[in-house]
Amino acid sequence: MSAMKPVRVGAATLASAGLIASGTQLLALNTGHAAGVDTRPALLTKPAATPKLPTAPAKAALVYATTWVNVRASASTSSRILGVLPKGGHVGSRGASVNGWTPVNYQGTNAWIATTYLTTTPSASSNTGSRSSGGSSSSPSVYATTWVNVRASASTSSRILGVLPKGGHVTSRGASVNGWTPVTYQGTHAWMATRYLTTAPSTPSTSSKATTPASTVVYATTAVHVRAGATTGSAILGTLNVGDHVGTRGTPVNGWTPVSYRGANAWVASAYLSTRQPRTSSTAGAPTSSGAKGGTTASSWSILRANGSSGLDGLRPSATGIVNRTVAVFPQIKTIYGVHADSLPDHPSGHAVDLMLPHGAADNALGWSIANYFKSHATELGVQYIMFDNKIWNIARNSEGWRAVADRGSVTANHMDHVHITTIWD
């Protein structure tokens, strides 16, 4: 019997059969042929398997929260919180757990949740729980036991959406989580510190009337913003000029006075209000353009005061120059803190200022622009040292550049939301 002739199959034929996936695969097919071995069984049996086709992605498995849990932008407890999944609430997973974090799809966004707080088995009450998280008619009301901030998330560092007065009430969205109660505030999901809330409304009495004194007329002692909430980060509704007056809605809370402004509830920094109509402009004492470095006028300082700045009047000439140059070169900076009590002599003596970034630590690039600008103008402006982003630069150690400093435990203490500048003693 004569030997079987090797079958020659063209590349085009192999490609059409789905066999040529790479140069390596083709080489494997030709190896046996080169050795004189009958390759037909390999060529005939290999394509018997169904050619690989793109597989449809598996349907995302649902995972359920075993408690109220944060939904984060990445797999870290320090990453941004995108929202909170209530107990019994569910989302679709995007794959297996990685280092204790489960990738999920949350409101159309790729997100992560700590795996320890998730299960693949829905609880008996998960359906009703998810309905109540969306705003059930049976959601209980909670009442403020004192004036309390309403925040965007469960943290004292999160954005303040407004202030609930003592006795005021909002609707709860679920159980307290780590000392914070999820609520619905003016149609928005928000959070409030649980210790300042109660489920029992206060009983109308003379004491409750005493907490809401009759409206008092207050006057602006300088140009000052009128805001929607009791924080410098709240929306600006308007501006009171020197001598303008508004009626109060109650007693001051944490340095802010509740007022009625053009028919709306609003807030004004109490430091810039008086029950006596001012006779002269409060801008007296601010540097004038004639002697200010950078050509800053007194009106610039009024704007700073209107945005919550303080301790500017007691600054030394060198520190005053830093303020003037800041408002001239970096008009984004609206809040500056000068003289205040401190364990170090820099601020109390009037030789230091804190230039607060508009968006806190999120303005890192702006902060470095400011820090490096004053570093390059240190001799001209009398800068002694600068601190920003957990680093320090000192003119006496200029050759060492920016040096890391020990962690002080918070964003503000580590100078991440502001640039600190101490000037030479003069």
What span, in angstroms and rounded, lies between the C-alpha atoms of 220 and 222? 5
The Cα–Cα gap between 297 and 287 comes to 7
| Token pair recorded at residue 81 | 């919180």
Give the angle subtended at the CA of 62 by the CAs of 60 and 64, to the nearest 5°: 155
328's CB contacts (< 8 A; 6+ apart) are 294, 295, 296
Banded model confidence at residue 390, pLDDT cuts 50, 70, 90:
very high
Q: Is the dihedral of CA 254, 255, 258, 264 positive or negative?
A: negative
Domain spans, the chain: 62-132, 134-198, 213-274, 293-423
CA distance 221 to 273: 6
> What burial letters (b/e) apply to 335-367, b meaning 16+ CB within 10 Å?
bbbbbeeeeeebbebbbbbbbbbeebbebeebb
Host H or E run for residue 82 = strand 81-85
pLDDT tens sequence across 50-63: 555 444 444 568 88
| Per-residue pLDDT band at 263 (split at 50, 70, 90) | low
* Cα distance between residue 243 and residue 99, in whole Å: 61
Pick the CATH number of 213-274 from 2.30.42.10, 3.20.20.70, 2.30.30.40, 3.30.365.10: 2.30.30.40
Average pLDDT over residues 217-224: 79
Of 151-155, 163-167, 258-262, 331-335, minimum mean pLDDT range: 163-167
Backbone phi, then psi, for 102, in 5-degree steps?
-105, 125
Count of other CB atoms within 10 angstroms of residue 326:
24
pLDDT in the model for residue 61: 82
The Cα 174–Cα 131 span in angstroms is 11
Domain 62-132: CATH superfamily, name plus number: SH3 Domains (2.30.30.40)
213-274 shares the fold of 62-132: yes
Q: For residue 113, how many C-alpha atoms fall within 13 Å in the half-sphere facing its CB?
A: 32
Which residue from 326, 324, 336, 321 is spatially nearest to 369, judged by alpha carbons? 326
Answer whether 141's CB lies under 8 Å from 172's CB.
Answer: yes
Residue-level length of the chain? 426
Helix 317-329, helix 298-306: angle, nearest 10: 80
pLDDT in tens, 280-332: 433 344 444 333 333 445 677 888 888 888 888 888 888 988 998 998 888 89
Ranking 119-128, 322-331, 376-385 by mean pLDDT, the lowest is 119-128
Confidence tier at 186 by pLDDT (50, 70, 90):
low
Amino acid at site 245: H
pTM: 0.36
Question: Mean pLDDT in the chain?
Answer: 75
In this predicted structure, which of 32-36, 45-49, 99-103, 412-416 has the lowest mean pLDDT? 32-36
Portion of the chain with pLDDT greater than 90, in percent:
16
Query: How are strands ordered across the β-sheet holding 217-220?
Result: 236-240, 224-227, 264-269, 256-261, 245-248, 217-220, 273-274
64-78, 79-93, 316-330: least confident range: 79-93
Classified as helix, coil or strand, 157 is coil
Rounded Cα distance, 245 and 133, in Å: 43
Query: Of the CATH numbers 2.30.30.40, 1.10.3720.10, 3.40.50.10420, 2.40.128.640, which one belongs to the domain with range 134-198?
Result: 2.30.30.40
8 A C-beta contact, residue 91 and residue 106: yes
Q: Does 6 or 394 have the greater pLDDT score?
A: 394
Mean local confidence (pLDDT), 187-205: 77
